[in-house]
Amino acid sequence: MNPKAMRRKKVTLAGISNDNVRRANLKKRRLRPDESELMIWPSHDEVQQMLDEYRKTPKLDHLKKMVNKETYLKKRITKSKEQ
């Protein structure tokens, strides 16, 4: 297949400048078809549960998973050199 034949048109992304239209679109996206109330995700209970789980884990585990820009780039460089 020709890769050029499979290309799509370039789409320009832009925000909705009209406040009323933007609010209406947001409301449509948040409303479920079968319910009249807005769906908010995640729920307050789920957020509390996530925060509790995070706080229960030891700080050492948090530090192991933390990555700053410098260490991330070093890992990427060593990984690319290995290939």
Q: What is the mean pLDDT of residues 75-80?
A: 92
Residue 57 to residue 51: CA distance in whole angstroms = 10
What CA–CA distances, in Å, run from 34 to 12, 24, 43?
33, 18, 19
The model's pTM: 0.36
| pLDDT tens string 5-30 | 677 888 888 888 999 999 888 888 77
Report percent pLDDT > 90 for the chain: 34
Q: What is the mean pLDDT of residues 51-79?
A: 89
Domain boundaries, the chain: 17-82
Q: How many residues are present in the chain?
A: 83
Residue 26 to residue 40: CA distance in whole angstroms = 12
Instruction: Classify the phi-psi angles of 67: left when phi > 0, otherwise alpha if psi is within -120 to 50, otherwise beta.
Output: beta
Residue 10 to residue 12: CA distance in whole angstroms = 7
Checking if the pLDDT of 44 tops 80, the result is: yes
